[in-house]
A and B are shown apart, each in its own frame.
With several copies, the nearest count.
Chain A
Amino acid sequence: MTDSIRATQGYFSQFGGAFVPEVLQRTFDELNLAFETARNDPEFWRSYVQLMGTYSCRPTPITYAENLSRHFGGAQIYIKREDLNHTGAHKANNVMGQGLLVKRMGKRRVIAETGAGQHGVATATMAAKFGFECTIYMGEVDVARQRPNVFWMERLGAKVVPVREGSRTLKDAINEAFRDWVSNMDDTHYVLGTACGPHPFPEMVTYFQSIIGQEARRQIVEIAGKLPDRVYACVGGGSNAMGLFSGFLSDKEVELVGVEAGGKGVTTHEHAARIASKHGSIGVAQGYKTYFLQNQDGQMNETHSVAAGLDYVGISPILAHLHHTGRVRFEAATDAEVVEALKLVVRKEGLIPALESSHAFARAFVEAPNMPVTSSILINQSGRGDKDIFTVADALHDPDWVEFIKKKAEAYRA
């Protein structure tokens, strides 16, 4: 991966750090050592690429969106297809990588938090493949809106624990995972799902996800003949964004755009835009320092997004840093814009982006029309939308779907 993404004493300028209870200090020392050793061993990255090439279908392709490009009449639109990963999202990259690390560390159990359920499914999948025991913490709210993923996690042999504390979403699942970890760190590794949390997680997750950017840079130059003018990625914790951006960080002419969850609008308080709204401020929680959606006392606010995977109070300290340096521009897309973008992508290209990924599309669609046809943009389709069928069906008020569910329920009652 590009060495530009290395923390100095766990920090990216003022962001990051490792604010962890004393009981976990040794675990983090071990993790830092294991990660460093692995990273310095070229064989490790090779084995990672090899695993992703045989178990998932890396390199994932870049698809030229001919119809969308024509539709908007502006920039040529290219899409990085992380949705084609095994388990349907970029989450697989990070999880499989950490799986290899867990094997090296000789631990036998993994735990993880999950929002959309994508990271939970990916972790449960990795655990099944590597033969690890697995417990997934998932906010009760998310368990409800992402049931299909819960169903598969259980089939995969994972124990799914609904978290009933706090706002019962991603951040609370993370807290619960930490509580499990401080009790079981000896045989357990916490597979954090995004580029957040205490050092070395932001850097480590970015390291594994950087496979996206490495492939994408090579591919786009090959296909489009030049670097893209802008690169778009949705930003929950920041892992798919960092993964793709990392491939273009040193290409100053490429503008990097991170799209946060605008929810019901960044002027309301029902969103998850930590940087793209006026409501975010620097704080320290869940073990690291970054922008959070919090009140003056430092209590975390509830967040909202139609996309469970973006519904999170914090953001990668690396992205907070890149925001300060001005390297990454942050925007927000509202739930409504996102659903419209998703419908358009499905209809025009036959692709079904996850609601999370649709945020990147929504913003790109605002900007592309105003760019010359000679310019090009790259959008990260971080995952596929199949998992969102319940949410999307509701958002579109599909009557047949409603009928179908009612019939199903009656059949079950009978």
Chain B
Amino acid sequence: MLETIIRAKLAERAPLLMTHIVIGYPDFDTSLALIDAMVESGVDLIELQIPFSEPIADGPVILHANQVALEKGSTVDRCFEFAEHVSRKYAVPFLFMTYYNILFRQGVRSFVERARKAGLKGMIVPDLPPEEASEYEAAMAEVGLDPVYIFAPTTSPERMQKLAAHAKGFVYCVARKGVTGSSTDFSDELSSYLARARAATKLPLAVGFGVKRKQDVDFLQAHAEIAVVGSETLRVLEQEGIARVGPFLRGLRA
């Protein structure tokens, strides 16, 4: 149903904005304040990352956030409580983002079940390719949550087809090679890659990794439905303070 929600929102404005937090970073209160700011700023979707000790797909900024969150006691249970709290409080759709071991340890089936009860709409698991995901997909389908899959610039058209066949809700296109947080040049290369993505799936496309400025978002308007802002929000928080987060987010589509 994520797709339906997205399509509805797209009728009003495009591109949509998806933001991201690491639950419990820098602490739970601030995490909450961040969500408030995001919602007030009209953000359309929010990724809630459950911290993991080995986040291989994340760069320095989010890696650091994961570690601090864990030190601050961001257990899986508290992450569920937090997720339930915010999804009750706000209408905006929330997704879990985390690494597979977090699901695996809880038991994939029960983790997914809990996630649905907590009111989440979908999940992004960057280290879980469809080849390893049968149990996960079955459970997600059963409880009615959308497994979001990822395209990379290195993904062949054939593989995009395959991934699309497994994906629900939308497809997350990482804008470039590398990890989260480093910068991307929004170039023709990117457009042609997104064109390939578009050709491979009817699902909405979300583009993340390195979205920092209004120009980036504007560039994406022509190629994708959703602009994803991750590390940059954390950077603003850390360097300019929570008060600047709202203005920063609003500025992206002003």
Contacts and interface: CB of A to CB of B under 8 A. Distances in A.
Interface of A: 17-27, 165-166, 171, 175, 178-179, 182-186, 281, 283-287, 294, 296-300
Given A22-B163, A182-B177, A287-B127, A300 B155 contact: no
B119 interface: no
B126 interface: yes
Contacts, number: 108
Interface in B165-190: 174, 177-179, 182
A298 B101 contact: yes
Contacts of A175: 54-56
A185 B105 CA distance: 30
Contacts of B76: 297-298
Nearest to A198: B127
A398 to B, nearest CB: 28
Given A165-B67, A182-B178, A297-B76, A25 B159 contact: yes
Contacts of B54: 166, 171, 175, 285-286, 300
A185 B56 contact: no
A285 B102 CA distance: 10
Nearest to A178: B56
Contacts of A287: 56, 127
B129 A296 contact: no
A179 B179 contact: yes
Contact of A284 (B63, B100, B179): B100
A285 to B, nearest CB: 5
B54 to A, nearest CB: 5
B152 A19 contact: no
Secondary structure type dominating chain A contacts: mixed
A27 B63 CA distance: 23
B158 to A, nearest CB: 11
A354 B178 CA distance: 37
Given A20-B127, A182-B177, A284 B154 contact: no
Contacts of A296: 105
A241 B61 CA distance: 37
B52 A299 contact: yes
A17 B127 CA distance: 11
Contacts of B67: 165-166
Given A19-B127, A22-B155, A165-B63, A284 B75 contact: no
A148 B54 CA distance: 28
B180 to A, nearest CB: 10
Nearest to B76: A297
Contacts of A281: 105
Interface string B28-61: 0000000000000000000000001111110100
Given A26-B154, A300-B54, A179 B59 contact: yes
Given A19-B129, A284-B99, 20 more contacts: A19-B127, A21-B56, A21-B152, A22-B126, A22-B151, A22-B155, A22-B174, A25-B129, A25-B155, A25-B159, A27-B154, A166-B54, A182-B57, A284-B104, A287-B56, A287-B127, A298-B52, A298-B105, A299-B53, A300-B54
Contacts of A165: 63-64, 67
B75 A297 contact: yes
Contacts of B205: none
Nearest to B70: A299
A284 B99 CA distance: 9
B155 A297 contact: no
B150 interface: yes
B101 A21 contact: no
Nearest to A26: B154
A185 B178 CA distance: 9
Contact of B132 (A18, A179, A300): A18
7 contacts: A22-B129, A22-B155, A23-B153, A179-B59, A296-B105, A299-B53, A300-B53
A22 B208 CA distance: 14
Nearest to A171: B54
Nearest 9 CB-CB pairs, A to B?
Answer: A298-B105, A183-B178, A23-B152, A298-B101, A299-B53, A22-B150, A26-B154, A178-B56, A300-B53
B105 A297 contact: yes
A27 to B, nearest CB: 7
Interface in B84-134: 99-102, 104-106, 126-129, 131-132
A171 B101 CA distance: 15
Contacts of B192: none
B151 A297 contact: no
B101 A283 contact: yes
Contacts of B104: 283-284, 298
Nearest to B128: A19
A165 B70 CA distance: 13
Contacts of A294: 101, 105
